Every structure is written in C-alpha cells, then in structure tokens.
Amino acid sequence: MKNFVIPVHATSGSYEVKVGSGLLPTLGSEMKSLGLSGRCVVVSGENVFPIYGQTVLKSLREAGFRTDSVAFPAGENTKSLERYGELMNFLTKKQLSRSDCLVALGGGVTGDLTGFAAATYQRGIRFVQVPTTLLAAVDSSVGGKTAINLPAAKNQVGAFYQPRLVLCDTDTLKTLPEREKRAGLAEVIKMAVLADPDLFDLLQRLDPSIPPDALPEAIEACVRMKAEIVEEDERDLGKRRLLNLGHSFGHAVEQKSGYALLHGEAVAVGIAMACRAAAHLGMLDEGSLAAIIELLQRFGLPTETEYSAEDLFSILLLDKKIADGKMHLVLPKSIGWCEIVPVSRDELRHLLAAACGEEA
Ligand SMILES: NC(=O)c1ccc[n+]([C@@H]2O[C@H](COP(=O)([O-])OP(=O)(O)OC[C@H]3O[C@@H](n4cnc5c(N)ncnc54)[C@H](O)[C@@H]3O)[C@@H](O)[C@H]2O)c1
Ligand SMILES: [Zn+2]
C-alpha cells in the first residue's frame, strides 16, 4: 500500500494524517519533529497494547520521551465516566503536566476516551492519534470529536479537540478481527453513499473477503473527504452533520443492543434505515435503495433491526442532532448525495416505522 499524508486545517491548528505501511516505529521521531517532548502516556486497550505497545514505547523513548502506559478493557463500555475518572487519576498520579502529551493507541474507543481526557486534563494537553482499526483510520481519529458515553446516551459528554498528529500504520490492520474489519467498512460505505459515487463503484467491485490493506484508495478517499468536511465545519453546525448518515438510527440501535452490536454494524443498520426512510419519502429511488442495501450485505453487514420503531423512538429523542424541537436526519437522495432533513416528532415516529420496515 502506498503511503500518503493528508493535511487537516482546523481552526485550533493544522495537523497531518499520515497513513501507510511501517509507520509505527517512526512515531517518536514524528512527534519530536512537531515540537512535542517530555513525558508521554500511551493510552491503549487490552487487546492492542500487547501487540503494538512495545514498538510504540520504544519509538517514543528513542526520541527522548519519558513514557508511561495504561491499557483499558476492550469494548464500548470503556467510554464511561468511570474509566475517564480512572484515567484522570492515573495522569494525576503520574504528575503529568501541561507540557506533556498523550498517545491514543487503538480503535475509536481508545481514541475517543483519550481525546476527551486530553481535552480536559488540566484544561487541555496535547495528544496524538494512532488508530489501529479500519474504523478509526477512516473516521474517528480525524476531526477532533472526542467523547464518552452516559448510561442513557452515547457520546453525551465530550469536546471538540484536535490531535497534533494522526499516524496510522496500516500493518496494524492485519491483526484486526474479521468482524471489526467489516464494521469499519460500514463507515467507508457511509462516505461513499454520502459524497463519493466513485468510491461506491470501487466497493462494488471489491472482493468481499478483502484484507484492509487492499483498500488504500478507500482509506485515502475517506480521510480526504473527512478532512475537507472538517475544515469547512469543524463544530458540526453545517456540512459536517452529513457525516451522521446512518448514525441517528444507528446509535439508537447500538444503544438498544446494549452495545452487543459493534458501532460499524449499527451504522450499517442505520444507513439501511435512513435509505428506507428516504425511499418512503420519495427522495431515493428503489434501485439506489437496493444497491446500497446489497453493498452492505455483500460485506456481511446487518441491514435490519429486531427492535420496534417505538423502542427506538424514545432513544432517538435524546439525540444531539435535535435542534429547535426538530430532529435533523441525514437522508440520501442518490448514491453520492445526501441532505439534512428536519423532521418533527410526529414525522420522526412515522419515518421510523418505515425505516424499521413496519409500514409500506
Ligand atoms: N470521534 C469520532 O469522530 C468517531 C467517529 C466514528 C466512531 N467513533 C467511535 O469509535 C468507536 C468504535 O471504534 P472501533 O470500531 O475502532 O472499535 P474499538 O475501538 O472498540 O476497537 C474494536 C476492537 O478491535 C480491537 N483492536 C483494535 N485494533 C486492533 C488491532 N490492530 N488488532 C487486533 N485487535 C484490535 C479492540 O481491542 C476492540 O476489541 C465507537 O465508540 C464510536 O462511537 C468516533
Ligand atoms: Zn460512526
């Protein structure tokens, strides 16, 4: 896979997303060249740290950093107030100061928790994202959204806080379990439906058993698109909300499943639901609806939910995408074009029924 560098120009500063093979041992020198120094705490997960932790620590030490590390249990439940508190206490115990930094080594869960910790520890310390899942590489590590969950609502507590660098060594994707790879592909399909018909074509032609390093074009297309959108609308007030395609319905399904569904799997269900809702409104033609659902299913992703519209409705009412009493749904008009559609509470209930396949 070829290596590539994509700059992200955020209001709080610009940084680069570096993606490619063999990058992990360069982390320390990359960080040093950005002017980072002092102490560095590597925050990771219990699955990831045993595989990649030592390479990262060695690279940091060789670049002159004094290192510490902490690994949390794998899974969405780690994005909790409790784990956040533990991490804050750990950083305090280690006497980390504002001139020190954090490294998030892992998937979106590690990235979101570490990013939020970086945003709030002593009112903000510098941090670097080292994504090791396809989902984190194409989506969560870029753009500065950080958050933890409350029992009643996902990503309810968070901050916009940009990393100083995103460094993704695509070799790390080789150890990713199949189910996680497929979940990451849901976000790639999201990007394609959102704004990139060429990417959609590319995915349609891909062998469904593809190793992620056969996906260089897809990863690059997604990071470029995300960088562009974030530059235009860092704070999620306009265009960036389009990235929520499949996420309003998806988060509700994810939460209802008690996080038994992976985020990417829930997003796949959410995309299918958004497409059915759009078709119900006459926005999306039946052919495009079928093509999108077929693509999701080709990669083994779920497209149906076992939950009823009523079950999901109450969860949806807590969604952050509600403004002025209206829910702002992202609905596709065609493959590569989506729109934000404000719907009232009653319309939402009705559309949800269509999205769940409960009415024709
Ligand atoms: N901040 C954002 O903009 C944003 C965007 C999308 C998703 N997210 C968040 O990201 C999270 C999902 O992220 P995810 O899909 O990366 O899940 P994840 O972080 O839970 O990682 C998936 C699993 O793979 C394991 N793993 C990670 N890298 C591995 C590797 N290289 N080899 C072997 N195992 C590995 C992890 O231990 C975990 O069990 C959700 O909480 C979601 O809300 C955030
Ligand atoms: Zn997502």
**CATH numbers and ranges of domains, the chain:** 4-175 (3.40.50.1970), 192-355 (1.20.1090.10)
Q: Give me ligand 1 centre to Cα 313, in Å.
A: 26
Q: What is the pLDDT of residues 151-209, one digit of tens each?
A: 988 899 999 999 999 999 999 999 999 999 999 999 999 999 999 999 999 999 988 88
Q: Are 151 and 79 in contact (CB under 8 A)?
A: no
Cα four-point dihedral sign 188, 53, 158, 303: positive
Average pLDDT over residues 2-15: 91
Closest approach atom of ligand 1 to CA 187: 6
Q: Tell how far the Cα of 64 is from the centroid of ligand 2, in angstroms.
A: 35
- Token pair of 95, please? 């006497």
What's the pLDDT band for 12 if we cut at 50, 70, 90? confident
How confident is residue 96, by pLDDT bands cut at 50, 70 and 90?
very high
Distance CA 147, CA 159 (A): 6
Give the residues surrounding ligand 1 with Cβ less than 6 Å away: 45, 47-48, 51, 74-76, 79, 106-110, 112, 132-133, 135-136, 139-140, 143, 145, 155, 172, 175-176, 180, 183, 263-264
pTM summary value: 0.92
- β-strand pairing of 101-106 with 337-343: unpaired
Cβ–Cβ < 8 Å for 296, 303: yes
Closest ligand 1 atom to 146 CA: 1
Other C-beta atoms lying within 10 Å of the C-beta of residue 156: 14
Within 8 A by CB and 6+ apart from 221, the residues are: 191, 196, 198, 199
Ligand nearest to the CA of 80: 1
Return the ligand number nearest the Cα of 159.
1
Taking only the tens place, the pLDDT of each residue in 18-38 is: 999 999 999 999 999 999 999
| Structure tokens, 330 | 């992202």
Handedness of CA 206, 207, 210, 214 (dihedral sign): negative
Dist CA 324 CA 308 (whole Å): 26
Q: How far is the CA of 108 from the centre of ligand 1 (A)?
A: 4
Kindly give, in sequence order, each residue whose CB lies less than 8 Å from that of residue 325, ignoring residues fewer than 6 positions away. Answer: 344, 345
